Structure 1
């Protein structure tokens, strides 16, 4: 029987848990430094006591940037087997987290299987599940009903939950005053806003926040404080609604830490590149350096079908300036539920963004793979390059699609390969080309 409820409680008591030791080993850091940051709330290790298959990961400053993969069942796409194939892709490409955003039927069957098999941490948005789980219309749901769904997810083994507790009546007033182009684009946030407006009541997750924290503490669930008022287009970024909610999240962070509940802060969706760094710094200041979890940000609104790229650009800038956790975006964003190909594209784009940011931040060991790739390219060792690459399968497929005559080059340059030429000269060899005379008639 462990002598603490949560990772944060253990850290405050000076206890280095096995989860902290695993994170320290993965990050090439001292376990004591991890414990200190968990105690302060600057690092979170989402790890539900009932998630037995998890391989713990740390999220926060000085650690590698982590990525999350969204998937789940919807009313228009009920293929459980296909969603599980997406889980397999996420695990294959080393996504550190998977969020089950299922919003159709009895979602616990899929979620239970997901938690049983996944070494990645599992997140959910209980608000999505409330209507199906409770079998009531939105207007009929009571405050205590929402908490029942949270407890059900916690018991199943969910490691972190997005809870939109910051969209209280004060934040809603700011949102209404400052007219938006896109209004509310958060699914969970819009449902809570609708419930509040229809009932006239305060946000139940805000009004009963202490009771919510008691549930999360019991199972060591990390609260991911959702950004219900995140901007859904460039024109809405950094407005009164977004900032008002962020201020509320800062206060809620401290209240969670007082109960030894770990915290993530969720951040903006659409935002111009020149605003990103300032928003990262503002979150860290207002939310007391809690780990920051961002969706994108998407740096332009005009690229449907390519939003994995707009997101990767914003994610790289965000993570280089303080964000700690990137939520992937697929090419299907804004268009449809992503298929397997979309999921892979989204994972790889997000992985590239996270890795590029880690290099920029000087994270320990971040450039090791890049150095290995440079050495493999210097030797023109294609097999080694494929093994090192983030997506070696795609790299091999491209290389083999137009095979070169000489395996010591690729089909773009052939024997005029700069690496081959330089290597031969430095080895004291001649560089010779077969001259082909074109027929001219």
Structure 2
């Protein structure tokens, strides 16, 4: 253990100690460290930063901060090319993602995880229950309750910054689900595993039953607890139903218990959801979970767009972020179809970055709109180099521009000399328009 006067970022904040991580986040977000510290103490901002993650560039997630994005990757039995997933992680970091979730569930999961943590400046998340079957080489039914916690402990030792734990799907939530049938049942992988384990063993969910032991592990490594949405809707028909809300109520109670032990908490959210339900879901999470940061997958606003779900997710993500969601899990064109390729991942990242920034403008994050105003000024000046500089993806913008040959090099091949910006600039400067003449 590192010798310091606090256990977690929340513990430090409650004591009035400004940690190096807080100072870094305050500088990055251009806010006062005292204001940041107050929100960390209240649980409204988290700074996931395991004491064993040495390469980490700390970021804050929560109230008043820029919306962050997360990428999912990792090895599986059907796609277990270790090198490909490492390459994807490095590309994701180059593109500026703030979080990477290692969802590996087959083969050399620990070797992959430790290498990833060794070089990643982005915070690393995992879902320990995915790792349990391979870790013990046992069928799900045969895993003992305490063994689930031992996997969490190993992830903490390895330097994982946040862990998704499906503790809200207890026996009462399971009964609610059985009594309120769904079209898509349970689509959360971790949620389905915990539900199955409870049914097969006729036992309570170990993460719920031994929640205090789980909190002790998280506090030991300053590992943020991302309370998983086992009952998230996997189709529009199941959104905002009894099972989802019942789990959310339990997550709110677990959040308060975590805060008493100074464990930082994020709440995970849906899922698939009609566009007109998104705002209400953000409000519900913030109310029922006491302002804890909200981490959403999508939401995907329609079920019928396989191959284009990076778009359906970006639409929902932008709305969710504008209404107060804090962390967007990216969605790629491969969602529902396959493990994403590197190209799929890039498409998903860019769609999520657009959604996050659009959300920041909507919720008036400090200086968010200044970026757009700078781009507008460059466009007004027809300054293409500046436009590329301010572009979210400069490489793609330059590629589209290259190879075109407008008559006036200041314009583009869409409007040519009829460019509205060119026209106004010349007229207001008292110049000849010269639209038809060479």
Q: What is the TM-score when the length of structure 2 is the normalising length?
A: 0.98
Post-superposition CA distance 1:382-435 (Å, at most 9, x none): 121112111111111111143323320111111111111111112221011336
Post-superposition CA distance 1:335-360 (Å, at most 9, x none): 00001111011001101111011111
Post-superposition CA distance 1:198-242 (Å, at most 9, x none): 000100100111111101100000000000000000000001100
2: CA distance between counterparts of 1:339 and 1:402? 30
Question: Does 419-428 or 196-205 show the bigger shift?
Answer: 419-428
1: CA distance between counterparts of 2:398 and 2:86? 26
Maintained 8 Å contact 1:105/1:133: no
- 2:377 corresponding residue in structure 1: 375
Change (3 A) 1:413 1:3: same
- 2:129 corresponding residue in structure 1: 127
SS in 2 for 1:249: helix
- 2:151 corresponding residue in structure 1: 149
Aligned residues: 436
Aligned match of 2:160 in 158, 162, 166? 158
Question: Superposition pairs for residues 372-411 of structure 1, below 5 Å?
Answer: 372-411=374-413
The answer as to 2:311 corresponding to 1:309 is yes
The answer as to 2:231 corresponding to 1:222 is no
Maintained 8 Å contact 2:323/2:362: no
1:106 to partner: Cα distance? 2.2
2: CA distance between counterparts of 1:91 and 1:288? 31
SS in 2 for 1:367: helix
1:255 to partner: Cα distance? 0.5
Question: Superposition pairs for residues 59-98 of structure 1, below 5 Å?
Answer: 59-98=61-100
- 2:335 corresponding residue in structure 1: 333
1: CA distance between counterparts of 2:9 and 2:24? 13
Change (3 A) 1:278 1:372: same
SS in 1 for 2:153: helix
1:110 to partner: Cα distance? 1.1
1:299 to partner: Cα distance? 0.4
- 1:415 corresponding residue in structure 2: 417
2: CA distance between counterparts of 1:49 and 1:410? 52
Maintained 8 Å contact 1:12/1:39: yes
Question: Superposition pairs for residues 49-64 of structure 1, below 5 Å?
Answer: 49-64=51-66
1: CA distance between counterparts of 2:116 and 2:380? 42
2: CA distance between counterparts of 1:368 and 1:56? 24
- 2:40 corresponding residue in structure 1: 38
User: Can you give the 5+ residue segments of structure 2 that lack an aligned partner in the other structure?
Assistant: none
1: CA distance between counterparts of 2:91 and 2:390? 18
SS in 2 for 1:403: coil
Aligned match of 1:292 in 275, 281, 294? 294
1: CA distance between counterparts of 2:268 and 2:360? 20
The answer as to 2:222 corresponding to 1:207 is no
- 2:103 corresponding residue in structure 1: 101
The answer as to 2:251 corresponding to 1:249 is yes
- 1:439 corresponding residue in structure 2: none
The answer as to 2:280 corresponding to 1:261 is no
The answer as to 2:326 corresponding to 1:324 is yes
Question: Does 60-69 or 399-408 show the bigger shift?
Answer: 399-408
Maintained 8 Å contact 2:322/2:360: yes
SS in 2 for 1:228: coil
1:322 to partner: Cα distance? 1.5
Aligned match of 2:175 in 145, 160, 173? 173
Question: Does 187-196 or 426-435 show the bigger shift?
Answer: 426-435
SS in 1 for 2:169: coil
2: CA distance between counterparts of 1:415 and 1:104? 59
Maintained 8 Å contact 1:106/1:133: no
SS in 1 for 2:78: coil
- 1:24 corresponding residue in structure 2: 26
1:105 to partner: Cα distance? 1.1
2: CA distance between counterparts of 1:213 and 1:389? 43
Question: Does 395-404 or 33-42 show the bigger shift?
Answer: 395-404
Runs of 4+ in 1 over 4 A off after TM superposition: none
